[in-house]
Amino acid sequence: MHARHDYKTLRQTFEQAADLYQQARPDYPEALLDDLVQAADLHPGDRLLEIGCATGKATLPLAKRGFNMTCVELGADLAEAARRNLTGMDAEIITGGFEEWQPEAGKRFDLVFAATAWNWIDPKVRYSKAWQVLRPGGHLAFWNATHVFPDNGDLFFREIQDVYDELGEGKPKNTDWPKPGELQEQREEIGQSGLFEVVHVRQFDWERIYHAEEYINLLKTFSDHILMEEWKREKLFSEIRVRLNSRPDSSVRRHWGAVLHVARRLD
């Protein structure tokens, strides 16, 4: 992430990728969603509030499990895409920022959750606001889909770093290359809020194969690539095409990881 852009600028960038987001971003593993349902003691008909649903990557599978979904999404185009993707489901998509949004009088939720969006919410506000809109004994959950690097992972990502470096977009020297199961957990931060107690933390990982254009479409949904100068982006993408198309199957194996955090509201 570039130091010159704060998170409020960066989180606006996803709007530019609204048409690509649903197809390019990974689906979350069923096992993660099952684990969430169990850890937060959810039952069909329960009211779930999602922060930053984007196009509904996590919303749709949870709506299909029979929950009543309310989503607050900052981007108007993303929210519109989510409405289309959730047609016929028990789901309401509200366009706006979670920090400013207020639920209808007296309406409280069984779960407040964020899928690859919690880090984009104002850290001064997110825990208190989630606490406010939850019923007593309700739960907060969040996870972040991120890149992990198993020992037997595809070497492409390390090899392509020279292109990023050449463009002045390289990773800082001390950047982590986390392995599956070794992602940083946010237990301490949750505890420090004084509003929640951690009840469950579990790491998940999964793999996806991307053909050259699919991988480029994925990169087009990342804030740092969206903000890259156009000539740099074009040069990077053309180099990725050349390298991946020279492989027998023209594809790359990308490993995803996520840490599911579930915490209970303290009363």
What confidence tens digit (pLDDT) does each residue in 188-214 have?
999 999 999 999 999 999 999 999 999
Q: What is the dihedral angle through the alpha carbons of 27, 111, 194, 132, rounded to the nearest 10 degrees? A: 120
CB–CB of 139/133 below 8 Å? no
Give CA–CA dist 183/37, Å, rounded.
Answer: 22
Name the amino acid, one letter, at 189.
Answer: E
**To which H or E segment does residue 36 belong?**
helix 30-39
Distance CA 190, CA 120 (A): 16
| pLDDT tens-digit series, residues 67-116 | 999 999 998 888 999 999 999 999 999 999 999 999 999 899 999 999 99
Angle (nearest 5°) at CA 101 between 198 and 185: 25
Report the distance separating Cα 208 and Cα 28, nearest Å. Answer: 11
Task: Please check the confidence at residue 2 and state whether its pLDDT lies above 80.
Answer: no
Top-level class of domain 7-150+176-208+255-265: alpha beta
pLDDT averaged over the chain? 92
φ, ψ (nearest 5 deg) of residue 120: -90, -5
Longest dimension (CA), the chain: 59
Domain ranges within the chain, ordered by starting residue: 7-150+176-208+255-265
The number of helix segments (H) and strand segments (E) in the chain equals 12, 8
pLDDT, tens digit (0-9, with 9 covering 90-100), for 154-195: 999 999 999 999 999 998 888 889 999 999 999 999 999 999
pLDDT of residue 195: 98
The per-residue pLDDT for 3 is 43
